[in-house]
Chains A and B, each alone.
Chain A
Amino acid sequence: MTTSPPAAASPPTADPPPSSVPALEMRGITKRYPGVIANDHIDLDLRRGEIHALLGENGAGKTTLMNVLYGLATPDEGEILLDGKVVDIGGPSDAIARGISMVHQHFMLVPVLSVAENIVLGLETMANRVFLDLGEARRRIRDLAARFGFDIDPDAKVASLSVGQQQRVEILKALYREARILVLDEPTAVLTPQETEEIFVLLRRLAENGRSIVFISHKLYEVLEIADRITVIRRGRVVGERAPKETSEDELAELMVGREVQLTVDRGVSDPGAVTLEVDALRVTDDRGHPAVREVSLQVRAGEILGIAGVAGNGQDELVEAIVGLRSVAGGRVTLKGKDITGASPRHIHDSQVAYVPADRHRFGLILSFPITDNLVLNRYCDAPFARGIIRNDEAVLAEAKDNIAEYDIRTPSATAPVATLSGGNQQKLVVAREFDRDLALLVLDQPTRGLDVGSIEFIHRQVIAKRNAGTAVLLVSAELDEVLEMSDRISVMYRGELVATVDGRTADKNEVGLLMATGGKAKPDAEWTQPIDRGATT
């Protein structure tokens, strides 16, 4: 949000400088934090009308660089040039006034307000001293929307919009502020494949209109599809600049991680044993009481991975939350190794050798303000040796933490650092370390690699395969179709709260499964279905 009116912005179209001069140039940007060089002499230039992808692992320094651009961090060295002129960006409002806008991963929208109200928030045009002139704002929003091909109703309440539409509101907000440089921080992380396609169309149109776009991502195929140029950074340095035509996913991954990465983990052969998890006609409702899981039945055997494919919001979260005891069951039965665990407490289920990696690690998986040590024993804190009676044993907790940190390669300066200081990948490794570090009958994974970089994904996939090979039954829910296809021994497709098909993981056809995800294999959409509350994604 900003308070500086657009009037303060230099008119972006008036007197355009020669097109040979880059719209933005960052030269030798260096930013040090105690003990870490986040940006080490980074050079980046952005041409007018260009989509420039910034690629890097979590913690590589992408966000720091963009914070420098947005005035949220002051660089220790280096300079920023806009249209060839050195500028000093004092803060976000200054950045916006200079035509730089950022679309954050987490939308900065007020759900109860309308699209138009959200867009004008902070720079309200006043009809007079008292009343807002929303009419004028609406007219401008319609103009913009028509020009760039948005399909959006200025009077719709933001709460009623889908995630993809909300993102478009954010972009519209930037355009309303006359942005000519747009920074999009992992814009596709929360979108369905269809929505991703739509946003790409929009971004290309913006670029054709002379807007310059910095596209931050670590999804290699997306970057190859959308970008005009790709800059890869690793550990604070630029390690390569490529054009999409002259590179490949493998090369980019290697640049990002610094070593050869196996993008596809060899899943090997599975040797399914007895049925471990059996779900029978399960019904679960969402937070509003609408049915989210409708008569789902499934079986997972020891030593096999059952993948659940589906567009996010089709009841997958509710399904796994019900299995692990976090959500009450409206009907049906959940059996673990023949024992009924329907409606059992999370602790009971945990103690029955069930591990769960939640989709939203910030909400369920971690306590960000707590140290790594405490988070690693978050669900074992009262078991020996971490506690004697009610007295905690800090030494045992610390020893366990040091073991886990070494074994799972969690990169942290100290075992007692707050989890909030870790990168997303390392946070997820922490969750995995905690959940995997014991003998398991069942492993429930919900979006285990969402928002992670390729190195972390590879690591986690290896761990999952290892668990399966050790005889654990694995239930894998992912909105990333590729992940499901690569990992699963069997794949079920979830659509509007139901499992609509189950196919063999090795022979499954991507297009076939994708079609099932999009339509459920039905001609007509189900009228009873209401979209569950989107609780947002986190990285």
Chain B
Amino acid sequence: MHIKRASVALIAALTIAACSGAAATPTPLPATPTPAPVVTPAPTPAPTATPVVTPAPTATPAATPTASPTPAASTAAPSPSASSTLKIGVVTDVGRVDDKNFNQFSFEGAKLGATDIGAAAPQVVVPNSADEYASDIQQYVSQSYDVIVTVGFNLYSATVAAALANPNIWFIGVDQSICVDATGKDDPTFACKGDPKTLLPHYIGISFEEDQAGYLAGIVAASISQSHIIGAIGGINLVPAVVRYIQGYQLGAMATDPTVSVKIGYVSKSDFTKAFADPAGGQTYATQFIQANKPDVLFQVAGSTGNGVLQAACTAGIDGIGVDVDQWGSLSAATDPTYGCIVTSAEKHLSNAVEASIQQISGGTAAGGNVEYNATNDGIGVSMEQDGKGLITPAIQTLLDTALAGMKAGSVTTCPTTCGQP
């Protein structure tokens, strides 16, 4: 029993060692000679399609909505802070650093940020278990690191405590929204009386408006649907981010095609393992979901369970929409049957957000507190279609552009009043 687990660990370790060096390169696709790859830009300067915009929260990129800005490194590399001495460390969540998801893209962002400012390559620690979060952060503190990136909500408590104890170290919390009491401690009552900006001036809590990304996905889904039935499968309805994605998806779809029927399902009502870490279960659930509801587009918001959902969609011959990161890139292994059925993905620009925060810290413009990433600061988007089928027509692209502009202007509502609530 244990031996089996151990041998799995051995294989896993070898695989990770094998992957960690080359994880950044997305698979280039011959079918689409379109602009630079989305989300995971190659470190080498890409032929830039759009002028570079520093993704500072205030700046409004004039770029095409789907393409994220090419990182500063490509053109603005020799900036004044080219030889930063900042030591950057990343603590991911439990799992693997090359998870093609949160851990990986946050780490990518840290690496890009370090390159941008000319700092040494960041280090990464993958905790072995949830009781290690605090001590892993502490390792960096003990080693006098200047910037510590913690990935995922689970590390929030440990990050708040560390930020309070070490006011001179910068903390970037990915997917963490800071809520503290008047003393700067984590506030379990969620009154959020304390002002993080003053109490924890070096803690940047990055969060995303998932509903906006979901809204864009909804536009795509409603537009390409022939049957006017589209579906969305979430992992669990207890996680507000999941709910927001799906609420945005509904609104976006309805706004595009008032006759569309949006079918929604959640893989589990209580079990987070089933909800987010069970691809086989996701596939079974989605297969039944597709049979029962007959959608012809399916959006997944269920972590790696969702990878099984996409698998089911591809098997059933319908279109799939990925989540969080460009799943075309994360599932595009040549042998993967999923290849070809992912139309787009509703993205959080994790890498951009982390990279931008590091640039701001280096440039002295950073401020603590909660930073919302949304359409305004290019924090969200949908990925470019890479399957070469041309499903996302110029007309749909126009719809997306319009919606993004509306979000920036505040004229588009992407979430109902019960935003995030099941």
Asked if A and B form a direct contact in the complex, defined as CB atoms under 8 angstroms apart, the reply is no
